[in-house]
């Protein structure tokens, strides 16, 4: 960032600068309405309309990126974290590398939800295997008006809240998915009426705990779990736009979730057990053909649950190919020794398929191979 851009950024966001002009440091706290920070949206400068208490549960790559932006735009942001991430956040706050700048933003971090208190908004950005572990904390952060923003990969526990049972058989088909919510515990503790679903279209990695690199993409799609418009959905979208995200509202967020899943349910697991980057996966003729078989099964499931896919698998693969030689998040998890989120990406779609009578031999094989690989390395439970 040049000096001129740095001055403009400081004027917009009310931030101060460290010695290097490429480092943006935000230590702002709550301020009166007439002093709230300015944000640039679609080329226009506008003042934030609300000052919110926001918690990030899962301060990894995506959570850290979102948290830094929201803190820099003037909200009181806290993070539930532990271990090295907690230590890093306490030491230097959120730190995000974006384009030619490093954004460092204030955050209150703790490993106890009771230290953070009830929030206006809670972003759930943990990996699916960790969700059950943080369920108690999420309840402690939630008050009567708290909105939970579910920004996780794959099929979420509340997925069927906005699905019309007439799309795929009797209501019994749409009971909680045992692969991701055994016994319906999550649905009971975090019901759909509290949820805004969020689909993230961005690439971020952590180069060290609490230190995030944003590589591309700026999209957040949000929608009510039960579908349709709402005042709170519009309010949250505006708030995220004010923080610099390309945020949009969806009439039916399940369609957006299923579309993203259709595109990444193959690349992630195949890269995990082969160690290959996506270009190598797609360059192999036999593997490419297999990827399309899994995508065809997922598209068929989508057609049975009101989430049709209108794009061809080949066209979607070409989009992925243009991204070049990149490591998927699941391959990064393997290399870091972290548990793999196979249930949300593969086990849940397979369970849905069984409920709507779609055969999934290719998907079954992919789940079986990746699950065995992960179990042999202690990355998936036996």
CATH of the domain at 368: 1.10.1040.10
Cβ count within 10 A of residue 354 = 13
Q: Does residue 91 form part of some domain?
A: yes
pLDDT of residue 23: 53
Rounded to 10 deg, the angle between the 285-304 and 267-274 helix axes is 140
Q: Are residues 320 and 302 in the same domain?
A: yes
Whole-Å CA distances, 42 to 68, 75, 119, 264, 309: 20, 20, 29, 29, 30
What pTM did the predictor assign? 0.86
Q: Is the pLDDT of residue 241 over 90?
A: yes
Spatial neighbors of 337 by CB under 8 A, at least 6 apart, are: 377, 378, 379
Q: Is the pLDDT of residue 258 over 50?
A: yes
Q: Does residue 381 form part of some domain?
A: no
Q: Is the pLDDT of residue 37 over 60?
A: no
Q: Are residues 338 and 357 in the same domain?
A: yes
Q: For residue 334, what are the domain limits?
A: 258-376
Q: Does residue 218 form part of some domain?
A: yes
Q: Are residues 11 and 131 in the same domain?
A: yes
Greatest mean pLDDT among 22-26, 34-38, 230-234: 230-234
Last residue of a domain, one of 251, 278, 308: 251
Last residue of a domain, one of 251, 266, 288: 251
pLDDT band at 30 (very low <50, low <70, confident <90, very high): very low
pLDDT of residue 10: 36
pLDDT of residue 167: 54
Q: Are residues 296 and 242 in the same domain?
A: no
Q: Is the pLDDT of residue 179 over 60?
A: yes
Residue with the bigger pLDDT between 8 and 303: it is: 303
Q: Are residues 172 and 320 in the same domain?
A: no
pLDDT of residue 77: 98
Q: Is the pLDDT of residue 273 over 70?
A: yes
Number of domains in the chain: 2
Q: Are residues 199 and 93 in the same domain?
A: yes
Q: Are residues 35 and 155 in the same domain?
A: yes
Taking each continuous run of H as one helix and of E as one strand, the counts in the chain are 16, 14
Q: Are residues 85 and 34 in the same domain?
A: yes
Q: Is the pLDDT of residue 2 over 70?
A: no
Q: What are phi and psi of 311, to 5 degrees?
A: -85, 150
pLDDT of residue 51: 87
Q: The dihedral of CA 44, 50, 56, 59: what is its sign?
A: positive
Q: What are phi and psi of 109, to 5 degrees?
A: -120, 140
Q: Are residues 226 and 262 in the same domain?
A: no
Q: What is the pLDDT averaged over residues 274-291?
A: 97
Q: Does residue 382 form part of some domain?
A: no
Catalytic residues: 260
Nearest by Cα to 340 from 158, 144, 194, 154: 154
Q: Are residues 235 and 370 in the same domain?
A: no
| Residue 110 φ/ψ region, left for φ over 0, alpha for ψ in the -120 to 50 degree band, beta for the rest | beta
Residue with the bigger pLDDT between 40 and 321: it is: 321
pLDDT of residue 324: 87
Q: What is the pLDDT averaged over residues 157-179?
A: 72
pLDDT of residue 146: 97
Q: How far is residue 369's CA from residue 303's CA, in Å, rounded to a whole number?
A: 26
Report whether 64 contacts 73 (CB < 8 A): no
- CA torsion 366-331-201-7 (nearest 10°) is 180
């Amino acid at each position: 960032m040049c000096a001129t851009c740095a001055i403009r950024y400081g004027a917009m966001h009310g931030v101060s600068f460290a010695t290097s002009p490429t480092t943006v440091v935000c230590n702002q706290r709550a301020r009166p309405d007439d002093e709230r920070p300015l944000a640039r949206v679609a080329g226009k400068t506008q003042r934030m309309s609300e000052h919110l208490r926001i918690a990030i549960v899962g301060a990894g790559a995506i959570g850290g990126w979102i948290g830094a932006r929201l803190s820099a735009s003037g909200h009181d942001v806290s993070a539930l974290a532990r271990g090295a991430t907690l230590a890093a956040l306490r030491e230097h706050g959120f730190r995000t590398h974006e384009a030619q700048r490093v954004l460092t933003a204030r955050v209150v971090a703790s490993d106890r939800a009771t230290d953070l208190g009830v929030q206006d908004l809670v972003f759930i950005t943990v990996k699916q295997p960790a969700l059950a572990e943080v369920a108690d904390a999420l309840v402690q952060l939630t008050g009567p008006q708290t909105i939970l923003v579910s920004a996780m990969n794959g099929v979420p526990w509340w997925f069927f809240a906005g699905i019309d049972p007439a799309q795929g058989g009797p209501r019994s088909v749409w009971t909680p998915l045992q692969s991701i919510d055994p016994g319906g515990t999550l649905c009971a503790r975090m019901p759909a009426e509290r949820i805004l679903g969020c689909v993230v279209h961005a690439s971020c990695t952590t180069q060290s705990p609490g230190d995030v690199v944003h590589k591309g993409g700026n999209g957040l799609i949000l929608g009510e779990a039960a579908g349709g418009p709402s005042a709170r959905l519009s309010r949250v979208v505006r708030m995220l736009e004010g923080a610099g995200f390309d945020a949009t509202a969806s009439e039916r967020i399940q369609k957006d979730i299923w579309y993203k899943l259709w595109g990444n349910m193959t690349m992630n697991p195949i890269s995990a057990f082969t160690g290959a980057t996506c270009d190598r996966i797609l360059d192999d003729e036999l593997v490419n053909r297999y990827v399309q078989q899994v995508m065809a099964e997922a598209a068929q499931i989508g057609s049975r649950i009101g989430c049709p896919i209108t794009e061809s698998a080949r066209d979607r693969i070409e989009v992925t190919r243009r991204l070049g030689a990149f490591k998927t998040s699941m391959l990064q998890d393997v290399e870091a020794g972290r548990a793999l989120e196979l249930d949300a990406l593969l086990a849940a779609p397979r369970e849905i398929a069984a409920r709507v009578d779609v055969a999934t031999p290719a998907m079954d094989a992919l789940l079986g191979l990746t699950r065995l690989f992960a179990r042999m390395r202690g990355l998936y439970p036996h």
